Structure 1
Amino acid sequence: MSTSVRSARANQRRVAMATIIGTTVEWYDFFIYATAAGLVFAQLFFQPAGESIGLLLAFASVGISFLFRPLGAFLAGHFGDRIGRRAILVTTLVMMGAATTLIGVLPTYETAGVAAPIMLLLLRILQGISAGGEWGGAVLMAVEHAPANRRGRAGAFPQLGVPLGMLLAAGITALMTGWISPGQAFLEWGWRVPFLLSIVLIAVGYLVRRAVDESPVFQEIAAAKQQTKVPIAELFRKHWLLVVLAALVFAGNNAAGYMATGGFLPAYATSPAVGLERTDVLLAVTFAAAVWFATTFTGGVLADRIGRKRTYIIGFSAQIATAFPLFWLINTGELGMLYLALAMFTIGLGLSYGPQAAWYSEIFPASVRFSGVSISYALGAILGGAFAPTIATALVQATGGTAAVSIYLAGMGIVSLLAVLALRDRAGIDLSVANQAEQEVGATIFDTRTPAASADPGTVRV
């Protein structure tokens, strides 16, 4: 094996490690908030509203941050397409960590009155801006460094940071509720510890990300001085339909992830309707995150073998098929059925998440790629996960059951599946700026493609 090949592979390993560590830290911070919102924020920050309305407000505060993800995506996309991917990744990591750590030292409503929820919302907004800019940079660093036949696998690494972040968040919270600060102690001070731990994780992520080389595609763009002056304007002028479809692809997955394994489920499973213990439910969510991790990586590997589109179709079909059995099993009130329900549901969740980084990277042209993947992801999160826990809680309160929630989950999956069918699989396409002309055409079934473009051997028809 030549020295250059060994060097390239070593760099790819560093990139994989940097993207997975960074996204794990970012999403640990994000999921810690969602978990705490479902368990204690109604009592700590929205107490005067009462139990039911307080829970709705707590989940609404989860959704507020999603509304600011597009701002983070716009900013990160603009500067990521102009000054590079790596600088944005470091900035978003530090911003997220600072906001999360500060939440851990906030006064509650009891001590600060209405100022407490206001400060909480402001810090949650900072989390949203950071999350909006994080994902695009991480996936482009991973995918643009990878060889064409391994982009699905490479792109799965930053995706793995999401289930890993949730596993870490649920695991640490379970440790606090079950052993270190059980019962009233968790409400008094234990909930703060997972937020404060973020400062340690941020330090590790910062050091790892600083050591990674800039994306080779951006190095080519910078060397050729082909940075777009206003990438977002060009993106929406030329590729607005692609942005809409890509956002819809993510919406169904994100709705399922946040409603079924995020803040809503711990609150519902520990409610009188089901009656499970808080720590038991958190451990089950931790288990679900591990299954999600495995199926996400499987989705990335499958995307390289059978195509991005086919993998998505399998994933969303599984997600739709399990939308009703998910709650049928949970509503038995048996802990074993909760584990089975989550394991079954997260199979589709992972298979419809693993291929996303590679597919998003391949459907947008190099000059606006950071903007395209970031904004599509942020808009998909708003349409999908932003208020999914709030919607689910409202549906349960209005109907007295979970059938409406299952219909909502299945409906979101169907919308995403239709969006998947409207996109072309472009596995193997040359991602460099030199291939910008081919990248500009043929990403959706609605494009009128020239014979030269349609003959490209890198475009996979599905």
Structure 2
Amino acid sequence: MKPSVPAAATDTVAAKSRRRRTIIASMVGTTIEWYDFNIYGSVAALVFGKIFFPDVDPAAGTLLALATFGVGFAARPIGGIIFGHIGDRIGRKAALIATIMMMGAATVAIGLLPTYDSIGILAPVLLVLCRLIQGIGLGGEWGGAVLMVVEQDESADNRGRAGSWMQSASPMGFLLSAATLAAVSALTTEEQFMEWGWRIPFLLSAPLVLVGLLIRVKIVESSVFIRNQRQSDEKPAKAPILLVLRHAPKMILLVVLLGLGQQVAYFVINVFSLSYVTQHTDISKATVLNAVAVGAVFQLLSILYFGRLSDRVGRRIPFFIGAVGMAVWAFAVYPLLGTGNFALMVLGVSVAMVFQGAMYGVLAAFIAELFDTSYRYTGISLGYMLIGVVGGGFAPLIATSLLDTTGSVTSVAIYISLSSVLTLIAAYFAPETSKRDLDRILDNDTGITESTPRPGESVAHSGQQRPD
């Protein structure tokens, strides 16, 4: 007869298994959504100017195409508010299922769009509409996926590591999109790619989204959210966004500045670089894509390493390392890219992505710990999506404009460097959050938060604190 397993051990094993399933499900879904988003950025830089804006010169066409890329970021805060509302009132899981369906539908629709030659001005209008829907979907996706992972972990000692796994979905999505584009480019001629080949990566989103959806419906709701719902004497706030604006406006500003440096660096290097190198040098599109893909591997490793490190040394130190490094290395990236030597191109991009990953890997846990449970989904979604507006979506457009205005890529390096300096300042003034309890409920009348008692824990031991 086999010895029975103690209940506590069984519970521990079950909890670890649940967290593992949640991380995998959240990562798969978010990887697919980042695939959708990154496919758009790459194809916009390489193709969309020519097929959706053919009546303008190539440089202006590229600017317009990159502007449509930025439109998706402008829509992301709207998605953050909409799905943050759902996530804070109904649950994180319901919001995540809706966002993956929305992103998938918009991406497939882009792959089916007629071009300017077929329907004229209606073509770019429909392109912008699909991009808006993409932006709204991703605006609600990130916050929910992060909370499903971070709020599922019972120990503050592992939140940085758990959050970094979620952040790794971004380079994974990029690698998936880059591999797909490389395969399509290799199997088609330049004329075929321009005519119909570019549609294939968008259409492939359909089966990917179906797989992500099937995985996502099986995950369990955030344990912190469930405890908050059970323990709170009040109904969920009717408008979580109002609580954010009332109690945490400074935290929103802090989040934007914390994410500014890594967002500008990522999107300038991974999107602007494609159009810069292919238009201003003799280096092939495939060479640039391959260099950026190698950089994404180093970014992935950096994200996972610094997320784990932040559980030991705190959230701010990785930000210091990443922001200082990026501020300096920004001036080396484009001289190395311009050499045309593949090894030097990889060096330039990869070192930059290590510094970017140091900041990005810690961001999920860091900003989740800044907000109270009753409006956490809305708070982190709005803050993170505003980073995208200020630092991400329009960064390639700003970089292109700087290059056209100054005639020197040094101006782009200065842009990346200054953004990193602002992030460094924000990290210096930010509170250290790595040991905070996520089980906190906001008293709307007093503005005081208290920890939600866990099963078997008395209120007296749950502690109280004022919101930061």
Q: How does 1:53-68 map to 2 (within 5 A)?
A: 53-68=60-75
Q: Counterpart of 1:168?
A: 176
Matches of 1:266 and 1:357 in 2, distance apart?
A: 28
Q: Does structure 2 retain, via aligned residues, the 8 Å contact 1:27–1:162?
A: yes
Q: Counterpart of 1:298?
A: 305
1:155 aligns with 2:156: no
Q: Counterpart of 2:281?
A: 274
1:258 aligns with 2:267: yes
1:197 aligns with 2:204: yes
Q: Does structure 2 retain, via aligned residues, the 8 Å contact 1:360–1:373?
A: yes
Matches of 2:23 and 2:378 in 1, distance apart?
A: 21
Q: CA deviation at 1:221?
A: 2.1
Matches of 1:308 and 1:63 in 2, distance apart?
A: 29
Matches of 1:440 and 1:22 in 2, distance apart?
A: 35
Q: Counterpart of 1:100?
A: 107
1:318 aligns with 2:325: yes
Q: Counterpart of 2:460?
A: none
Q: Counterpart of 1:446?
A: none
Matches of 2:348 and 2:441 in 1, distance apart?
A: 48
Q: Counterpart of 2:237?
A: 228
Matches of 1:434 and 1:159 in 2, distance apart?
A: 26
Matches of 1:400 and 1:311 in 2, distance apart?
A: 34
Letter of the structure 2 residue corresponding to residue 236 of structure 1: L
Matches of 2:448 and 2:284 in 1, distance apart?
A: 53
User: CA 1:404–1:209 in 2, change beyond 3 Å: closer, same or farther?
Assistant: same
1:405 aligns with 2:406: no
**Counterpart pick for 2:247 among 227, 238, 246:** 238
Encode CA deviations 1:175-221: one digit per residue, 9 max, x unaligned. Answer: 111x2113111101110000000001101110111111000111112
Q: Counterpart of 1:31?
A: 38
Matches of 2:84 and 2:297 in 1, distance apart?
A: 31
Structure 2 gaps of 5+ residues are 450-462
Matches of 1:14 and 1:402 in 2, distance apart?
A: 45
User: CA 1:435–1:375 in 2, change beyond 3 Å: closer, same or farther?
Assistant: closer
Q: CA deviation at 1:457?
A: 12
Matches of 1:299 and 1:126 in 2, distance apart?
A: 33
Encode CA deviations 1:405-424: one digit per residue, 9 max, x unaligned. Answer: 00000011111111111210
User: CA 1:160–1:439 in 2, change beyond 3 Å: closer, same or farther?
Assistant: farther
Q: CA deviation at 1:339?
A: 0.8
Matches of 2:205 and 2:231 in 1, distance apart?
A: 39
Q: Counterpart of 1:447?
A: none
Matches of 1:314 and 1:366 in 2, distance apart?
A: 30
User: CA 1:221–1:182 in 2, change beyond 3 Å: closer, same or farther?
Assistant: same
Q: Does structure 2 retain, via aligned residues, the 8 Å contact 1:168–1:286?
A: no
Letter of the structure 2 residue corresponding to residue 29 of structure 1: D
Q: Counterpart of 1:129?
A: 136
Matches of 1:291 and 1:422 in 2, distance apart?
A: 29
Matches of 2:283 and 2:184 in 1, distance apart?
A: 17
Matches of 2:318 and 2:343 in 1, distance apart?
A: 29
Q: Does structure 2 retain, via aligned residues, the 8 Å contact 1:429–1:458?
A: no
Aligned residue for 2:360, secondary structure, equals: coil
Encode CA deviations 1:50-78: one digit per residue, 9 max, x unaligned. Answer: 20110000000000111111110011111
Q: Does structure 2 retain, via aligned residues, the 8 Å contact 1:89–1:138?
A: yes
TM-score between both structures, scaled by the size of structure 2: 0.91
Q: Does structure 2 retain, via aligned residues, the 8 Å contact 1:143–1:155?
A: yes
Q: Counterpart of 1:451?
A: none
Aligned residue for 1:363, secondary structure, equals: coil
1:111 aligns with 2:118: yes
Matches of 1:216 and 1:367 in 2, distance apart?
A: 14
Q: How does 1:81-100 map to 2 (within 5 A)?
A: 81-100=88-107
Matches of 1:360 and 1:249 in 2, distance apart?
A: 9
Aligned residue for 2:248, secondary structure, equals: helix
Q: Counterpart of 2:453?
A: none
Q: Counterpart of 2:431?
A: 424
Matches of 2:189 and 2:313 in 1, distance apart?
A: 47
Structure 1 gaps of 5+ residues are 442-455
1:363 aligns with 2:400: no
Q: Counterpart of 2:257?
A: 248
Q: Does structure 1 retain, via aligned residues, the 8 Å contact 2:372–2:441?
A: no
Q: Which moved more, 1:330-339 or 1:39-48?
A: 330-339
Letter of the structure 1 residue corresponding to residue 59 of structure 2: S
Encode CA deviations 1:124-153: one digit per residue, 9 max, x unaligned. Answer: 000010111111101001000112110000
Q: CA deviation at 1:458?
A: 11
Letter of the structure 2 residue corresponding to residue 151 of structure 1: R
Q: Does structure 2 retain, via aligned residues, the 8 Å contact 1:364–1:439?
A: no
Q: Does structure 1 retain, via aligned residues, the 8 Å contact 2:448–2:464?
A: no
Letter of the structure 2 residue corresponding to residue 400 of structure 1: G
Letter of the structure 2 residue corresponding to residue 252 of structure 1: G
Letter of the structure 2 residue corresponding to residue 216 of structure 1: S
Letter of the structure 2 residue corresponding to residue 30 of structure 1: F
